[in-house]
Structure 1
Amino acid sequence: MAAADTDKLNNLRSAVSGLTQISDNEKSGFINLVSRYLSGEAQHVEWSKIETPTDKIVVPYDMLSEVPEDAAQTKSLLDKLVVLKLNGGLGTTMGCTGPKSVIEVRNGLTFLDLIVIQIESLNKKYGCSVPLLLMNSFNTHEDTQKIVEKYAGSNIEIHTFNQSQYPRLVADEFLPLPSKGETGKDGWYPPGHGDVFPSLMNSGKLEALLSQGKEYVFVANSDNLGAVVDLKILNHLIQNKNEYCMEVTPKTLADVKGGTLISYDGKVQLLEIAQVPDEHVNEFKSIEKFKIFNTNNLWVNLNAIKRLVQADALKMEIIPNPKEVNGVKVLQLETAAGAAIKFFDNAIGINVPRSRFLPVKASSDLLLVQSDLYTEKDGYVIRNPARTDPANPSIELGPEFKKVGDFLKRFKSIPSIIELDSLKVSGDVWFGSNVVLKGKVVVAANSGEKLEIPDGAQIQNKPIFEDMLAGFGELSPEFFRLAFSAGSIVDRTKTVSSKVEIWDDPSSGELLRTIE
């Protein structure tokens, strides 16, 4: 480390020692992270050393053995498991206050409700005791403590613990923002989910779980509705003594920036786009060469976590995250849990079905999971078999739909999208009840004008623009069904007095229907 950087670190260490809001463990963890950052640990990889993992390293899900249909054996498996959900995120990007996990997803149930119902049903069915751990951040801790009280009567143990709280760094001075007068929450940040391993240890939860005979923890984002307990995966890991498993799934064009698993220097490793040399970024984004990406569903051996945390061996790649807080440029240093894979013995990936990756990051995702594309049973959100296309429709909603409250107001009921390929909505658009969308649909309102899709409308393979509807007055569902089922509305409609005529083909002179 250069002399100037050593001085920076010493000044920072002195300033951090005076911060009373955090523990000694948090102070030392933060200083270690900054020290590694200043030492310039290599983030890039040598491209020529990258190899595609074999099926022994990234195991196809179909190759996993079936779990014996014996209730006692299944109970024995599940009694070794802990479910841990990452619960540090807020719902602010979707216009909600408090933890994101309390956003209502389906039938009035929140992410957290669904998670609890799933584990309740497992415990009841097999007579096992799978506990639920929630890793909160300082942003979500107080709210979560109140929320979990409503599950007091459930048959599962629910434990919460906080991940680390680190001070944001003032970029130009390299000093903690709280020591510069920022006394509120804005002075702090949670350092990414890579912090789950030391935080689990420092909280005392890890030791308690080991004393109960627990062996594996299933870690997943609380907003991934596909991240449910899988007996085949758990059985495989126990039988093969794998210390770490990352679930990966085939990339689509929407996932080209997602991290992927590679073989590198004889070990399995997560490769993130930030590590890729500029000249190879397009190659990294290719779904032909790098066909899988990280779902952040992770299965990890608890004894291995203890060993590696005690040895201070989990030195994951550092993710610098520059931000601006009240006009001050700050730096956050973060790590990701997936990057820890290379430090564990006998680590593998499992190439799982896409159904195990169903994140809700925006209102467009909420539309998918609230629609008839999915059903819900025992807390599990299950894809409707009536949908023959294995891919979900692509959905783009304008900023008017960004906040959950606005999104819900704009739909009298969620449209049927079983046969939808894509939907793009822009402007002040409102949907009636029992609307059916099929094929490729575009709906756009003019700036400053409101476009209402009536109850019962069926729209298939059509763009609908406000301009097209000028002069048609009140539009009935029958109008929409006929006018948008085939052909262009501009070519196929004429207004005559207060009537709308729909023609099969205006040039042929054949009138299909007249709507008053």
Structure 2
Amino acid sequence: MLQIDDKKNRTHSRVPSDAKEFHETTKRDALRHLERELERLIETAPVDKKDAFREEMDSFAKLFGRFLQEDGPSVAWNRIEKLPPGAVKDYSSLKTPTNNEHIRSMLNKLVVVKLNGGLGTSMGCHGPKSVIPVRNDLTFLDLTVQQIESLNKTYNANVPLVLMNSFNTDEDTEKIVRKYKGFQVNIYSFNQSGFPRISRDSLLPVARKYEIDDNIEAWYPPGHGDFYESFQKSGLLKQFINEGREYLFLSNIDNLGATIDLGILNRLLGETDGVCHEFVMEVTDKTRADVKGGTLIQYENKLRLLEIAQVPNEHVDEFKSVKTFKFFNTNNIWAKLDAIDRVLNEGSMNMEIIVNNKTLDKGLRVIQLETAVGAAMKCFENAIGINVPRSRFLPVKKTSDLLLVMSNLYSLKAGSLVMSPQRMFPTTPLVKLGDNHFSKVKEFLGRFANIPDIIELDHLTVSGDVTFGRGVSLRGTVIIIANHGDRIDIPPGAILENKIVSGNLRILDH
């Protein structure tokens, strides 16, 4: 006869709570061990740097504690609501002011912030990405300074430029900024945090001492969501509020479309709808090229940013759908300065943690905990999106983007790129350049005698060992593929329209 062991059964019924208790204990242990290691790390800091370093490590410990507590996706998919009417304003509904005095008064309430923490290594360049020449030998930073100076001169205004550097870019940027001394722009900079990378196996910091330069691989800048806290710690937030400034406009330094927009500024400071919008995210229509970009959702009665990393695996295809989620985040953000101060002081700044897994050169697997600046949207009152034209999103991440901004598709006007009126469509061509021969800026430039005419280009794919002579025109869809061991030289003055050029230079109609 089957015997039932009551005692055994009772033990089994407690398994779920035992498992939960075990997880809670291991989490508490992990946090305790981490805090002990951070304390050792703080002891290695020079006396005059110790307090600031402790504050930074406390911020990191808080982030790590949150990482341990978070279980599963931060968004329950079935609780995502439809965007309410008016959540995303149409750019065409904005009015651009014409009264110079009114514009000057608005500009004097604005601060421009550029995220300048990235290096140009992915494009084969040394030093900050912001110093890569992108047009007429002018760098991202040159163009930014020109744009702001042009507005300051035109309206006799005083818009300051603030650069958020990382430990990777700080020293080089400080040297470069000196050349703008004679310009009519006040330039400030501050450093975002430097956090220790965590071993994926032990959950302990890889870093052993304070000096980042001695072991740069052990440290990382924790994403642009770190902006708010670092900005406040730098003292600049308070300084600008005391000067009577009200809003900041923040964007990536490599987005050449992110210029000061008087229509948006007027919506915030001039012709408001009777509501104080503490946070505005510029979004633009999603295309097939942007399916992985963050989007806007309504969740728990708040507008918020949804990133692909937060999406449960079974819903990734839905997230990428252009029909379901029409917009994506350009990372052009407008935020009210005193609201940032209030949210930070209340301790209610809460951004989803992005877990970035990396493997270092010696095979050590590490975790970086990061946050995104747009994820703070849900912490502010009356946040809205503005659906801006594609021209306000012109990032240069690869040499294929560089080809577009260097071409006759654009002209340069007071530091801003303006699309040629000869272009029939407002969209930019889709350009794909092979990684092996075009990914590094120096090699890319060496393959073009000058940048082809692409006013009428829709799509370009280039793969393999291909060079372009002077005065080439590309129109419609052009595909050029040099097979391994072959080389294709497009002759000077060639006009390629809807052509496929293959390994032995056969030219076919597309």
TM-score (norm 1): 0.89
Residue 432 in structure 1 maps to residue 469 in structure 2 = yes
| Structure 1: distance between partners of 2:268 and 2:36 | 45
Contact 2:74 2:352 (C-alpha < 8 Å) held by counterparts: no
| 2:369 counterpart residue number | 333
| Matched position secondary structure for 1:194 | helix
Q: Verify: 1:312 aligned to 2:347, yes or no.
A: yes
Residue number in structure 2 paired with 1:88: 117
How many residue pairs get matched? 472
- Could you report, residue by residue, the CA deviation over 1:126-174 in whole angstroms, capped at 9, with x for unpaired residues? 0110000000000000000000000011011000100000000011111
Note if 1:186 corresponds to 2:208. Answer: no
- How much does 1:384 deviate? 0.8
Instruction: Provide the rounded CA distance (Å) in 1 between the counterparts of 2:314 and 2:236.
Output: 44
1:468, distance to aligned residue in structure 2 (A): 4.1
Secondary structure at 1:177 match in 2: coil
**Following the alignment from structure 1 to structure 2, what is the Cα–Cα distance between the partners of residues 376 and 180?**
47
Which of residues 271, 274, 277 in structure 1 aligns to 2:306? 271
Question: Any idea what SS the aligned residue of 1:144 has?
Answer: helix
**Offset of residue 46 of structure 1:** 2.3
1:46-74 per-position Cα deviation (integer Å, ceiling 9, x unaligned): 2232223234211111122x233211111
Structure 1 stretches lacking a partner, 5+ long: 470-482, 489-516
CA offset digits 1:388-437 (Å, max 9, x no partner): 12221111111201000000010000000111111111111110010000
Residue 4 of structure 1 and its aligned partner are, at CA, apart by: 1.1
The correspondence for 2:445, drawn from 408, 411, 419, is 408
- Which of 13, 20, 23 is the matching residue for 2:53? 23
Is 1:9 the counterpart of 2:31? The answer is yes
Residue 288 of structure 1 corresponds to 323
Q: CA deviation at 1:44?
A: 3.3
Aligned mate of 1:447, from 484, 489, 496: 484
Runs ≥4 residues deviating over 6 A? none
Q: For each residue in 1:313-334, what CA deviation from the matched residue of structure 2 results, as whole angstroms up to 9, or x when unmatched?
A: 1110000001111211110000
2:249 to 208, 214, 218: 218
Structure 1 residue 8: deviation in Å? 1.0
Per the alignment, in what secondary structure is the counterpart of residue 182 of structure 2? coil
Q: For 1:180 and 1:450, locate their aligned partners in 2 and report how far apart those are by CA, in whole Å.
A: 51
| Aligned residue number for residue 378 of structure 2 | 342
C-alpha contact (below 8 Å) 1:89/1:140 kept by paired residues: yes
The equivalent of 1:498 in structure 2 is none
Q: Does the aligned pair in 1 maintain the 2:348–2:379 contact within 8 Å?
A: yes
- Once the two structures are superposed, residues 225-257 of structure 1 have per-residue CA deviations (whole angstroms, 9 ceiling, x without a partner) of 000001111111233311000000000001111
Deviation at 1:76, TM superposition (A): 0.6
Q: CA deviation at 1:203?
A: 0.8
Task: Give, in angstroms, the shift of residue 357 of structure 1.
Answer: 0.3
d(CA) in 1 for partners of 2:149, 2:209: 47
**CA deviation vs aligned residue, 1:324-382 (integer Å, no higher than 9, x gap):** 11211110000001110000011111111111000000000000111111111100011
- Aligned pair in 2 of structure 1 residues 407, 468: CA closer, same or farther (>3 Å)? closer
The equivalent residue for 1:504 is none
Q: Counterpart in 1 of 2:99?
A: 70
Contact 2:429–2:457 (Cα < 8 Å) also in 1: yes
Verify: 1:300 aligned to 2:335, yes or no: yes
Which residues in structure 2 correspond to 1:439-478 (within 5 Å)? 439-469=476-506
- Report how far residue 39 of structure 1 moved: 0.8
- TM-score normalised per structure 2: 0.90
Shift of 1:179: 2.1
1:263 deviates by: 1.1
Partner of 1:492: none
Q: Which residue is 1:394 aligned to?
A: 430
Is this contact kept in 1: 2:73–2:312, CA < 8 A? no
Contact 2:476 2:498 in 1 (8 A): yes
Distance across 2 between alignment mates of 1:47 and 1:269: 14
CA distance in 1, matches of 2:55, 2:336: 23
Q: 1-side partners of 2:207 and 2:153: how far apart?
A: 48
Deviation at residue 41 of structure 1 after TM alignment: 5.2
Q: Is 1:45 aligned to residue 75 of structure 2? A: yes
Q: Match of 2:40, as an amino acid?
A: G
Assess if the C-alpha contact under 8 Å between 1:44 and 1:277 holds in 2: no
1:112 corresponds, among 134, 138, 141, to 141
Moved more, 71-80 or 448-457: 448-457
Task: State the alpha-carbon separation in 2 of the partners of residues 147 and 84 from structure 1.
Answer: 17
On the 8 A contact 1:43/1:317 being kept in 2, the answer is: no
Percent identity over the alignment is 53
Q: Distance in 2 between matches of 1:100 and 1:52?
A: 38
Aligned counterpart, 1:383: 419
CA offset at residue 260 of structure 1?
A: 0.7
CA contact (8 A) 2:488 2:504 kept: no
Cross-structure match for 1:142:
171
SS at match of 2:459: strand
* Residue pair 2:400, 2:431 contacting (<8 A) in 1 also: yes
Query: 2:229 maps to what in 1?
Result: 198
For 1:163, which of 174, 188, 192 is the aligned residue?
192
C-alpha displacement at 1:450, in angstroms?
2.2
Whole-angstrom CA distance in 2 between matches of 1:215 and 1:338: 19
Q: Give the secondary structure class of the aligned counterpart of 2:207.
A: helix
State which of 82, 89, 94 in structure 2 corresponds to 1:59. 89
Alpha-carbon shift at residue 180 of structure 1 (Å): 8.6
One-letter amino acid of the structure 1 residue matched with residue 373 of structure 2: A
**1:420 maps onto 2:442 in alignment:** no
In 1, Cα distance between the equivalents of 2:236 and 2:25?
40
Matches of 1:219 and 1:4 in 2, distance apart? Answer: 39
Deviations 1:170-228 (A, max 9, x none): 11111111129994111100000000000000111111111111111101000000000
